[in-house]
Amino acid sequence: MSDDASRGDDDLPEEALAFGSDIGGDPEPFTYNGGRVDPGESANVRYGISETYLGDPVRIPVTIVNGEHPGPTVFLSTAAHGDELNGIEVVREVAHDWDHSALHGTLVCLPVLNVPGFLAQERYLPIYDRDLNRSFPGREGSTSARRMAHRIFTNFIEPCDIGLDFHTSTRGRTNMLHVRANVEHPIVARVANAFSSNVIIAGEGPSGTLRREATDAGVPTITIEMGEAHRFQRRLIDRALTGVASVLAEFGCLPDSTVHWPGWRTVIDDDDEKTWIRADAGGIVDMKRGRGGLVREGEAICTITNPFKEEDDIETVDAPFTGLIVGVLENPVVYPGNPLCHLVGLSEDTLTALERERERSDARRRSRARLRE
């Protein structure tokens, strides 16, 4: 675990810090199979990636914003899992509400990757429940999922320099906003740090995921996890928009903007204390902690009871170590073995920084409440 309240990438190699600075000269058109967007122009495209049982095209929405000035090409993708909606609003606001007159470089905005899943409001592609986010980089002549992934990947991912892929927790659970990134890769680490989330979970990700395959193909990419499926959660969306602006500032796309650094940051790697705490009893869960909550070793996280609330059948689940609740159950019913919460350990320094930050925000809230009285 490493903790750093500053940029946190002073130890990155020079090539990583110089990345993007050589993109100069004339701004370039963005091209994909079937189209082109010139500097200073933007385009809303519906791009065919498959066909339905009726033979109609399956088309993904894509907005390409090519700035007047030269700079990196950045993709922002969401809803590879069709019911994970928060990122859609992030990408739509970046694409359509932001003023792009000062943009250096190009934004490739992909608000809904898994269109069949989105239409059904399901995580997977409804065709045999395939996971689009295990099908990248895809392949021509392969399964339906891989063919779709291939068309997305070759046209809109490979031409980019860096990428941000937005997700939420699986249905029935929620996540605090955090980044997942292969921080061993220096440019991925730079993207992850610039997104300015408090928590980064390190790791390259399973094969077939967009972030891992894009990174392997030379497009350093991070995943942002935020909130729950089937919702727009305004506070998380606003925080993610701050993260996007911060990444764009870091890589020179928005040269007049400043990079935002979080007050505290913890990078959780494989050796650190982190665990999905699972239920050992089936029943109805009374969750005592929320997303992003801090829990001390031995404190109760939840109780599990039967329908009769019988005293001797109440199971209390305590925190095995002091940590932060990064993900938590929302749907309050479990079988034995179902996950209750995702707890990650914190060092003493991070704990102190986090508590100080929360005291400050509590004080601000109290003083605002006093002003309203």
- Alpha-carbon Rg for the chain in angstroms: 22
CB of 105 closer than 8 Å to CB of 73: yes
Burial class of residue 93 (count of CB atoms within 10 Å of its CB; 0-12, 13-18, 19+): middle
What is the C-alpha to C-alpha distance for residues 13 and 7, in angstroms, rounded to an integer? 14
User: Whole-number minimum distance, CB 218 to Zn ion, in Å?
Assistant: 23
Q: What track of x and - describes contact with Zn ion for positions 32 through 71 (by CB under 5 A)?
A: ----------------------------------------
User: Whole-number minimum distance, CB 309 to Zn ion, in Å?
Assistant: 35
Tokens 């969750």 — which residue? 287
User: Whole-number minimum distance, CB 171 to Zn ion, in Å?
Assistant: 10
Beta bridge partners of 202: 181
Select from 3, 77, 81, 219 the one that contacts Zn ion (CB under 5 A): 81
User: Whole-number minimum distance, CB 79 to Zn ion, in Å?
Assistant: 8
Map the footprint of Zn ion across residues 131-170, applying CB under 5 A. 167
What is the C-alpha to C-alpha distance for residues 262 and 7, in angstroms, rounded to an integer? 9
What is the C-alpha to C-alpha distance for residues 55 and 184, in angstroms, rounded to an integer? 44
For Zn ion, the closer CB: 81 or 180: 81
What is the C-alpha to C-alpha distance for residues 16 and 182, in angstroms, rounded to an integer? 14
For Zn ion, the closer CB: 84 or 161: 84
For Zn ion, the closer CB: 8 or 87: 87
CB nearest Zn ion: which residue? Answer: 167
Stretch that binds Zn ion, among 48-56, 76-84, 331-339, 360-368 (CB under 5 A): 76-84
Map the footprint of Zn ion across residues 167-186, applying CB under 5 A. 167
User: Whole-number minimum distance, CB 81 to Zn ion, in Å?
Assistant: 4
User: Whole-number minimum distance, CB 144 to Zn ion, in Å?
Assistant: 19
For Zn ion, the closer CB: 85 or 183: 85
Q: Report residue 358 as tokens.
A: 């929360």
**211 counts as binding Zn ion under rule CB under 5 A:** no
For Zn ion, the closer CB: 228 or 250: 228
For Zn ion, the closer CB: 81 or 265: 81
For Zn ion, the closer CB: 85 or 247: 85
CB of 85 closer than 8 Å to CB of 117: no
Stretch that binds Zn ion, among 4-12, 74-82, 180-188, 266-274 (CB under 5 A): 74-82
Stretch that binds Zn ion, among 56-64, 75-83, 207-215, 327-335 (CB under 5 A): 75-83
CB of 94 closer than 8 Å to CB of 244: yes
What is the C-alpha to C-alpha distance for residues 342 and 329, in angstroms, rounded to an integer? 9
Give all strands (DSSP E) within 5-138, no chain letters.
Answer: 30-32, 35-37, 42-51, 57-66, 69-78, 104-110
Q: Report residue 151 as tokens.
A: 């068309």
CB of 103 closer than 8 Å to CB of 68: yes
User: Whole-number minimum distance, CB 229 to Zn ion, in Å?
Assistant: 8
Please report, as a single letter, which amino acid is at residue 66: N
CA-based nearest residue to 190, from 372, 13, 370, 5: 13
Please give the DSSP secondary-structure letter assigned to residue 153. Answer: I
Stretch that binds Zn ion, among 82-90, 138-146, 176-184, 255-263 (CB under 5 A): 82-90
For Zn ion, the closer CB: 81 or 291: 81
For Zn ion, the closer CB: 130 or 167: 167
Map the footprint of Zn ion across residues 84-103, applying CB under 5 A. 84
Please report, as a single letter, which amino acid is at residue 239: R
User: With CB under 5 A, what is the number of residues at the site for Zn ion?
Assistant: 3
For Zn ion, the closer CB: 110 or 354: 110
User: Whole-number minimum distance, CB 243 to Zn ion, in Å?
Assistant: 17
What is the maximum span of the chain, computed from C-alpha positions, in angstroms?
Answer: 74
What is the C-alpha to C-alpha distance for residues 197 and 264, in angstroms, rounded to an integer? 9
Specify the DSSP element, H or E, that contains 147. helix 144-152
Q: Which residues bind Zn ion (CB under 5 A)?
A: 81, 84, 167
